[in-house]
Amino acid sequence: MKHEPGPAYSYTPIGTIHSPFTDIAGMPIQPVGARGVRGTIEIREDLREGLSDLAAFSRVILIYALHRCSGYSLTVTPFLDPAPHGIFATRSPKRPNAIGLSVVRLTGVDGCTISIEDVDVLDGTPLLDLKPYVPSFDAYPDSCCGWFEHVAENAKVTRSDDRFR
């Protein structure tokens, strides 16, 4: 079947993520490696009403633009493994569409400011969407995870370098 790629989709950020990380090198590579790292999200003032009832959740899913990545590779050698893998079998940022996903702790909502912990994103990252984390929908602890199976735990201590700058 020939694939018709269709039109591009365009999204204006709903807010900005603030974190202590100003350089893409030396960062935690996943929230599990950023335990206790605090950050904030500033949501656009015109969207404030949409945050109602959010404070009762303990985690949120952030979907954001990996705005400092340019270009992509179809095969990458990720931080956690010396072997190369197809980009869609990795969480590497150098993806065809540079969209990031992180599950972070929610610690407070005050007006348009959301306080978060376990933040593994660059300061100034444009937030595209924020969804409540719902274990019934999102938690599959027994899922098989391919090459990650024996190395995923290393994300707790692994830091990035500049390979995906």
Q: Bridge-partner residues for 104, per DSSP?
A: 60
When asked if residue 153 is in the footprint of a second copy (CB under 8 A), the reply is yes
When asked if residue 119 is in the footprint of a second copy (CB under 8 A), the reply is no
User: What span, in angstroms and rounded, lies between the C-alpha atoms of 162 and 165?
Assistant: 5
Give the nearest distance from C-beta 26 to a second copy in angstroms.
19
When asked if residue 3 is in the footprint of a second copy (CB under 8 A), the reply is yes
Among 13, 69, 115, 163, binds a second copy (CB under 8 A): 13
* 25, 165 Cβ separation under 8 angstroms: yes
Encode 13-35: b = buried (16+ Cβ within 10 Å), e = exposed.
bbbbbbbebeebeebbbbbbbbe
Binding part of the chain for a second copy, among 20-28, 143-151, 157-165 by CB under 8 A, reads: 143-151
21 to 40: interface string for a second copy, x by CB under 8 A? ---------xxx--------
Residues 37-96 that bind a second copy (CB under 8 A): 42-45, 47, 49-59, 61, 63, 65, 67, 74-75, 85-91, 95-96
Mode of pairing for the β-strands spanning 99-110 and 59-65: antiparallel
Q: What are 107's two structure tokens?
A: 């610690």
Give the nearest distance from C-beta 147 to a second copy in angstroms.
6
